[in-house]
């Protein structure tokens, strides 16, 4: 009898110990997903902090200084996954500094070569020389194993060798990925234009739906078609763009399409835009409510202070070519 009792007590203790361990480890895994659309001027740099503790950087902006400052301020020394969406300098140039100053374990690239630039291949050389770093060439449909709780799916990538002269073709080689966590989809489109959007619409159906959209090609009028928005259905749209850039990005046509689709627009000209998706909460079933906060701008003049841009009804008509200054003046009125 006594022996039996001791056995039962020990079993109970072991069971409780295991239960506590499971509870502890699962709660430590269930953390938030944080995506920072870094203010790097005209270009893209997106830093992702996964619930499981890994990190990823998608593009590095046009200069290494701003992304380096951002990562240093966060105390980052190592990045698990670095990706280049496509070989244009406003995406790859900043990544050189990243390979020089940080430990990188995995590098994701396309096989598109920009024949009019040497910088993309210089970056590839740096990735090859990075100790312990593996280079990957993902294909459309791939799932990237970046976090056990976040589904990372590839919708576009140029995984076969191709030489590029044309800017539009290079933009359409953009690595497009979607993060899915706690009922929220985050679609990162690089510089995809409406031709690539149409191609993705024909291959991937409801899987493209994402309540958070990193708008393609810095808000160019040649991206963000109505058909694409009808499928993606974004509530929040982040445009990574530099103040007074020479292209006039973001174009009013794209802004109008996003506004008509009901999306709230955030510009990195106001500063780094930080998206946070909370972990699942059993007491509040349903998707987690995402939040977007702004870090003060490091590049913009003081007049570029709006945290979010939602155009009033009296916005300029499509077809008007407006600079960001004019656009913000309109919004301020
Ligand atoms: Zn770009
Ligand atoms: Zn581009």
- Asked if pLDDT for residue 120 goes beyond 80, the answer is yes
- In this prediction the pTM is 0.83
pLDDT for residue 24: 43
pLDDT for residue 284: 86
In order of 37, 188, 226, the CA distances from 206 in angstroms are 25, 16, 16
Most confident of 29-38, 199-208, 319-328: 199-208
Mean pLDDT, all residues of the chain: 86
Task: Quote the ligand 2 centre to 212 CA distance (angstroms).
Answer: 21
- Output 225 or 314, whichever has higher pLDDT: 225
Ligand nearest to the CA of 61: 1
pLDDT for residue 297: 78
Task: Quote the ligand 1 centre to 255 CA distance (angstroms).
Answer: 17
Pick the CATH number of 30-332 from 3.60.15.10, 3.30.750.24, 3.40.50.2020, 3.40.50.300: 3.60.15.10
In angstroms, the CA 312 to CA 178 distance is 30
**Helix, strand, coil % in the chain, rounded to nearest 5:** 35, 25, 45
In angstroms, the CA 35 to CA 32 distance is 10
In angstroms, the CA 205 to CA 200 distance is 8
Task: Quote the ligand 2 centre to 325 CA distance (angstroms).
Answer: 23
Q: Give the residue carrying structure tokens 């590098």.
A: 107
Q: What is the mean pLDDT of residues 67-75?
A: 97
pLDDT for residue 298: 75
Task: Quote the ligand 2 centre to 293 CA distance (angstroms).
Answer: 26
Reading phi first (left if > 0) and then psi (alpha if -120 to 50, else beta), residue 227 is in alpha
Q: Where are the domains of the chain?
A: 30-332
Task: Quote the ligand 1 centre to 78 CA distance (angstroms).
Answer: 25
DSSP 206: G
């Amino acid at each position: 009898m006594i022996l039996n009792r001791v056995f039962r007590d020990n079993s109970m203790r072991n069971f409780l110990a295991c239960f506590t361990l499971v509870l502890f480890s699962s709660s430590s895994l269930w953390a938030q997903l944080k995506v920072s659309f870094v203010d790097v001027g005209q270009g893209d740099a997106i830093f992702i902090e996964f619930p499981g503790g890994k990190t990823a950087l998608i593009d590095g902006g046009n200069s290494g200084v701003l992304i380096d400052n951002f990562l240093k301020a966060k105390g980052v020394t190592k990045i698990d996954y670095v990706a280049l969406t496509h070989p244009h300098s406003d995406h790859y140039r900043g990544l050189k500094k990243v390979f020089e100053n940080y430990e990188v374990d995995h590098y994701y690239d396309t096989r598109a070569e920009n024949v009019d630039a040497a910088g993309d291949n210089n970056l590839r050389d740096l990735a090859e020389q990075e100790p312990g770093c593996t280079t990957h060439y993902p294909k459309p449909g791939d799932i990237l194993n970046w976090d056990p709780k976040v589904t990372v799916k590839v919708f576009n990538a140029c995984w076969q060798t191709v030489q590029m002269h044309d800017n539009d073709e290079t933009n359409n080689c953009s690595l497009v990925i979607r993060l899915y966590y706690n009922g929220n989809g985050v679609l990162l489109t690089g510089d995809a234009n409406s031709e690539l959007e149409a191609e993705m619409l024909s291959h991937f159906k409801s899987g493209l739906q994402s309540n958070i959209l990193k708008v393609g090609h810095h808000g160019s009028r040649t991206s963000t078609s109505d058909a694409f928005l009808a499928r993606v259905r974004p509530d929040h749209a982040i445009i990574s763009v530099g103040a007074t850039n020479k292209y006039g990005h973001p174009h009013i046509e794209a802004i109008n399409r996003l506004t008509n689709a009901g999306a709230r627009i955030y510009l990195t000209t106001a500063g780094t835009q930080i998206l946070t998706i909370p972990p699942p909460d059993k007491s509040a079933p349903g998707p987690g409510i995402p939040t977007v906060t702004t870090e003060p701008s490091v590049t913009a003049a003081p007049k570029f202070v709006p945290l979010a841009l939602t155009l009033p009804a009296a916005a300029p008509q499509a077809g008007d070519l407006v600079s960001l200054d004019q656009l913000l003046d309109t919004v301020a009125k």
